Amino acid sequence: MKIKNVQISQLTFPIRFLWIIALSSSIFELNAQSLFEKNPTDSCLIELYWDKDEKHFRVNRNNEESFNWIDAKSYVYLISENVETNLTNNSMYTKIKIPNYQITEKRGKFYINDKKVGTVQDNDVIILYQDKVEVYNKNRVRKNTSKIKNPSQSKFDSIDVLVENYMSERKIPGFTTCMVKDNKIIWHKSYGLADIPNKKLMSMDGIMNIGSVSKTFTAIAAMQLWEKGLIDLDTDINEYLGFEISNPNCPNVPITIFQILTHTSSIKDGKAYHHSYACGDPTISLNDWIDNNLTPEGKYYYVGSNFGNWSPGTKDEYSNVAFGLLGLIIEKVAKQPFNDYCKENIFEPLNMNNTGWLLSEIDTSKHIRPYAYVFEEDRNDILENKRLYPNESEFAVGSYAENCLYSFPNYPDGLVRTSVKELSQYLIAIMNGGEYNGSRILKSETLNKMLLLQIEGNNSQGLCWHTFEIDSTWGHTGGDPGIATYLIFNPKNKIGIITFQNNCVGGQMKIIKKLYQIAEDE
């Protein structure tokens, strides 16, 4: 039998996990749509095959090349996105141990956490939710439903309350989060809407621009070239460009990649940066943007606006434009467009196949819609950027104004478009010393270098990454019109948290702290 591209997303809401246990000693066909048509699903891609010759089930989870084999004679088969299995196979007995549940089956009866919850026959399908079990017969008609207790659900009930209150108070349409530990997702949940008028739910697979979390990808790309000896962190950046850039207040002091990575380059965002946001993909090349923004002859250059009045390397001040410049350096050294370099050297090795920098590189039908809630005190600020709200006319107080899918030419500083699910793969690689599922994007020694404090007197700044107040965590945040993101992790205990939301407001840290606390206890 084969289940292909079954997506699990909008089952009884909310959901922590979905498991399907199919019991069979012969070939049977499962019509997934008949089971899930009332509750369309998300977040898990599964292919399941019956091998006649070997008399085994073969599973390809998430289109990976690794397979899991279970003897068909044991009658029980388990599918899950995030399951640890401990199987003891016997001709008539199987025990399956997964987070929070132990499932046993013996002579047609099955038990969850040693409590009998039903009987099964050949070709029955059991669907296990966080709080109930449904049993379907061979005709896919539901036989019964039994309530069960998830031993750890009370922990996550408190998260539900925090998130729902936060969304209500801050007027956030949708929120998605996941918890990573020991190189796998151990919990995830989505709340609210990704698209208000179309009532599309938030999900792990929804794509969103992630703001300045994107800078960490640009930093990884730079450190890949550093590992190869193609760039030096302390060399004048003009060694890599086809034009000269210097701070006019200190023209003889070189600007370096180290300074860019630590926000000490003295490069400021300038007047043009904030006006460069526009609907659609950039219409100006990265090279032309940086040239016109940071050289005196450039049309976006304004005296006193593009550089600080201090010497490079002497003061830290956050700079977006500097990371656009870093993206251009990578483009020049790698001799290919920056977005193509990242696709080949970061996204593809991490199996981030639905991720890109440009709208033209991703499936925009999966894009989470960004919103601004119109408060009386903020209405004029929104109207100043009305070009980003082409479908809005009234901007009525108390309504949501939908942003277009926008971009800006300085894109290496903030326009990675990805999902929580695929970003978790990147997070796992970072926490695992630069490796994910056998693919390495950076040496562990290089990542360790990035996760060291770099500036005397600054207790937060590494190479791009910075520390947080939670335990020994590092990470980055992102904020842009209609979006806010967090990526936080502890490289010691390998706990990581990701949050996405489609309204740019703060206040997430209380939720993140609680998630981290729960992950420590899991």
CATH number, domain containing residue 232: 3.40.710.10
In this structure, are 196 and 137 located in the same domain?
no
Chain centre to alpha carbon of residue 502: 14
Domain-located, residue 97: yes
Which pLDDT score, from 0 to 100, does residue 71 have?
Answer: 32
Q: Is the pTM of this model over 0.85?
A: no
Q: CB of 487 within 8 A of CB of 423?
A: yes
Looking at residue 55, its amino acid is: K
The sheet carrying 474-480 orders its strands as 200-201, 184-195, 174-181, 495-501, 483-490, 474-480, 466-467
Domain-located, residue 391: no
Domain-located, residue 230: yes
Domain boundary residue among 100, 118, 147?
Answer: 147
In this structure, are 193 and 301 located in the same domain?
yes
Which pLDDT score, from 0 to 100, does residue 8 have?
Answer: 28
In this structure, are 134 and 194 located in the same domain?
no
In this structure, are 209 and 281 located in the same domain?
yes
Domain-located, residue 381: no
Domain-located, residue 385: no
Domain-located, residue 107: yes
Domain-located, residue 509: yes
In this structure, are 446 and 316 located in the same domain?
yes
- pLDDT for 351-361, tens place per residue? 999 999 999 99
- Cα 23 to Cα 107: distance, rounded to the nearest angstrom: 12
Which pLDDT score, from 0 to 100, does residue 143 have?
Answer: 72
Give the residue numbers spanning the domain of 307.
184-370+405-521
In this structure, are 307 and 250 located in the same domain?
yes
In this structure, are 424 and 298 located in the same domain?
yes
In this structure, are 233 and 322 located in the same domain?
yes
Hey, how many other C-beta atoms are within 10 angstroms of the C-beta on 418? 27
Q: Which residue has the tokens 């408060």?
A: 375
In this structure, are 83 and 134 located in the same domain?
yes
Which pLDDT score, from 0 to 100, does residue 214 have?
Answer: 98
Looking at residue 388, its amino acid is: L
In this structure, are 66 and 201 located in the same domain?
no
User: In a structure prediction context, what are the per-residue pLDDT tens digits for the chain, which is 522 residues long?
Assistant: 332 332 323 323 232 333 333 333 322 233 333 333 333 333 222 222 333 343 333 333 333 333 233 332 222 333 333 333 333 333 222 333 344 555 565 666 666 666 777 776 655 656 666 566 666 665 667 777 777 665 555 677 889 999 999 999 999 999 999 999 999 999 999 999 999 999 999 999 999 999 999 999 999 999 999 999 999 999 999 999 989 999 999 999 999 999 999 999 999 999 999 999 999 999 999 999 999 999 999 999 988 899 999 999 999 999 999 999 999 999 999 999 999 999 999 999 999 999 999 999 999 999 999 999 999 998 999 999 999 999 998 999 999 999 999 999 999 999 999 999 999 999 999 999 999 999 999 999 999 999 999 999 899 999 999 999 998 999 999 999 999 999 999 999 999 999 999 999 999 999 999 999 999 987
In this structure, are 133 and 189 located in the same domain?
no
Closest CA to 412 of 261, 300, 519: 261
- Cα 169 to Cα 174: distance, rounded to the nearest angstrom: 13
Q: Which residue has the tokens 């695929």?
A: 422
Sign of CA dihedral 113, 116, 117, 122: positive
Total domains, the chain: 2
In this structure, are 260 and 351 located in the same domain?
yes
Domain boundary residue among 97, 118, 147?
Answer: 147
Q: Which residue has the tokens 């990701």?
A: 498
Looking at residue 48, its amino acid is: L
Q: Which residue has the tokens 């940066």?
A: 273
Domain-located, residue 41: yes
